[in-house]
Structure 1
Amino acid sequence: MALEGSLAEVSLADICQLLAMGRKTGCLTVRDQGSFGYVYFEAGRVIHATVLNRPDRLGDLVLAGNLLSPEALAKVEGERGDRTLAQALSESEVLDPEALEPLLAMQVEEAIYHLFSWGQGAFQFDPDQALDAGMPRVSMNAEGLLLEGARRVDEWGQIQKKIPSTDLIFGIVDDPPDEVEAELTKDQKRILSLLDGQRTVDDLAKASGLLDFDTSKALFGLMVAGFIERVGTRVVETEPEPSEPEARQFLKLARAFFKAGMFEDAERELERSVEAWPSFGTARRVLGALLVRQRRFEDALEHFSRVNEADDRTYAFFRNKAVALEMMGRLDDALAVLEDAESAFPDDPELALARGICQLRGSAPDPARESLDLYRARIGAKTPSPVYFAYAILAH
């Protein structure tokens, strides 16, 4: 079922309700300027949701629940590669899957509730887009999420009037009321115990293991009850140095922009990724491919030359690098790259075809014929590419 439109005309809650009632399977993509959100459905139930360009709170939740030591979590982080932290944790043996599941559900809830606050933007449902293999999933009733989401949107409007930023700092008043008489909630007691006049709202969320909304709601209730007051705002004098997690987040956002056809935005995020982490081969490989698409071959080769890890030297990497060299007239170098690709991906017919074309352009018809014949042999009974026939005629 093709479904797309504007959030100004149809609310996200109505869209999700339609997908749930229809027991649909696929991915709902929501875009608002430079932000992207994804909600995956399976037979009408929500199995995953995420919002790009937002901090990944899973590590904070793990530490706040004392499920792992900081050292054990850091070890998983260091070994996760291009996987999300959720994937790395689920595939490792350091954390019980039953302990991880409620934390994943909390992340899904937070993502959906955040998306519900978007009053503008565009949406598109793709029934053919499945959740990546290996990505942890939950199974949540969409109706319950919709009801809670609607309630939170209403509450959030009131909360934001007193807590408009997560950089705000709160402290306990000089003469607070009695906690027993005030009948504080569990979340309010937890937040109250963490207040020291230095922690921001964001710090309190991380330390308590509560979601952003629940942290702000607890603070709002404590303010109304007369327990706390605003004492300041954190001021960041200099921008913090970007790190590997930020670089990976920029890459995710770039891929979302690329998929949406927003190539300038994708390039900007990729540049931010390699600036944050200069040795990030995956980002350089993707950026190089984008630059090849834009026929900026010299710039592409600059990034390709800095891809060193074997895992990043993918089939697409070799093909794009060879194209860039060929288009710049560096045919011998292009053939050398294709030979390297042949070693990594033996018996691939497209590599033989690409090599034959490159050899023919280099005025080497005999080797070209051999490569084109090899292409035919490798594809067997399949119909050759139209490109093959064009160059085969030139080679003979």
Structure 2
Amino acid sequence: MTKTIDKRRTVDFQGALDVISIESIFQLLYYTNVSGKLLLLNPPAKATFFFKDGSLVWGTLHAQQKQLGQRLLEANLITREQLSECLSVHDQHNRQMRLGSIMQERGLVREEDLQELLKAQIKDAFFHVLSWNQGTFAFVSNSSVEDEIALNERIDHLLLEGIVSIDQKSDKTFYQ
């Protein structure tokens, strides 16, 4: 579980996604080199992204996203039994201990594999919200992720990758 540290509880800026596009918000955070938490709401969907000095370091959808355990299963890195055991330990610690850390301590996954899957999870969340043109956003500075940085990529590169991905999906839909 990713822990966050909120040093202040006030919103620095907020608005509507039909007035300011999600791409513009991401670019603003990147070009101003800010650190903090971006909350996005497009009911019923919700997403949270963390930035450090303008770079995206963590992000997640709060529903409709493959979780780490599912990704590990699909990559054939763990078995269902191993996942169940680790989830039990995770629950025993009130979800305060990260699932990936539990799996690493048990020797089930390598750090490199875990990092790659976490990066894919963050990118999936990022690419998913690029399609949002309605909803609201709020940014809170001085709110950070306690864990090590899982992703540290430039927003302009992610936006380009996201546009290509969206374009490829629409091409597949068009030709089917």
Q: Structure 1-normalised TM-score?
A: 0.38
Could you tell me which of 151, 163, 174 is aligned with 2:164? Answer: 151
Query: Which residue does the alignment assign to 1:50?
Result: 60
Rg comparison, structure with higher value: 1
Match for 1:89: what amino acid? G
Query: Which residue does the alignment assign to 1:196?
Result: none
Query: Which residue does the alignment assign to 2:132?
Result: 118
8 A Cα contact 1:2 1:125, kept in partner: yes
8 A Cα contact 2:18 2:134, kept in partner: yes
Query: Which residue does the alignment assign to 1:26?
Result: 36
Could you tell me which of 64, 69, 75 is aligned with 2:85? Answer: 75
Query: Which residue does the alignment assign to 1:3?
Result: 13
Q: Are 1:100 and 2:119 counterparts? A: no
Match for 2:119: what amino acid? A
Change in Cα spacing, 1:146 to 1:30, as seen in structure 2 (3 Å) is same
Change in Cα spacing, 1:3 to 1:157, as seen in structure 2 (3 Å) is farther
CA–CA distance in 2 between the matches of 1:47 and 1:15?
Answer: 16
CA–CA distance in 1 between the matches of 2:16 and 2:34?
Answer: 20
Could you tell me which of 104, 123, 127 is aligned with 1:109? Answer: 123
Deviation (angstroms), 1:158: 4.2
Post-superposition CA distance 1:288-314 (Å, at most 9, x none): xxxxxxxxxxxxxxxxxxxxxxxxxxx
Alignment of 1:1-396 (within 5 A): 2-81=12-91, 82-83=94-95, 87-92=98-103, 93=105, 94=107, 95-131=109-145, 133-134=146-147, 137-160=150-173
Match for 1:111: what amino acid? A
Deviation (angstroms), 1:150: 2.2
The count of aligned residue pairs is: 161
Change in Cα spacing, 1:55 to 1:150, as seen in structure 2 (3 Å) is closer
Identity %: 25
Task: Give structure 1 stretches of 5+ with no counterpart.
Answer: 162-219, 225-396
Change in Cα spacing, 1:84 to 1:69, as seen in structure 2 (3 Å) is farther
Query: Which residue does the alignment assign to 1:351?
Result: none
Deviation (angstroms), 1:97: 1.4
8 A Cα contact 2:36 2:50, kept in partner: yes
Change in Cα spacing, 1:96 to 1:126, as seen in structure 2 (3 Å) is same
Match for 2:95: what amino acid? R
Change in Cα spacing, 1:139 to 1:83, as seen in structure 2 (3 Å) is farther
CA–CA distance in 1 between the matches of 2:135 and 2:167?
Answer: 20
Task: Give structure 2 stretches of 5+ with no counterpart.
Answer: 1-10
CA–CA distance in 1 between the matches of 2:82 and 2:64?
Answer: 24
Match for 2:129: what amino acid? L
Q: Which has the higher helix share?
A: 1
Change in Cα spacing, 1:160 to 1:118, as seen in structure 2 (3 Å) is farther
Post-superposition CA distance 1:316-346 (Å, at most 9, x none): xxxxxxxxxxxxxxxxxxxxxxxxxxxxxxx
Cα RMSD of the aligned pairs, angstroms, is: 2.4
CA–CA distance in 2 between the matches of 1:3 and 1:159?
Answer: 38
Change in Cα spacing, 1:84 to 1:157, as seen in structure 2 (3 Å) is farther
CA–CA distance in 1 between the matches of 2:44 and 2:71?
Answer: 27
Q: Which has the higher contact order (CA 8 A, sep 6+)?
A: 2
8 A Cα contact 1:38 1:49, kept in partner: yes
Q: Which has the higher strand share?
A: 2
8 A Cα contact 1:90 1:100, kept in partner: no
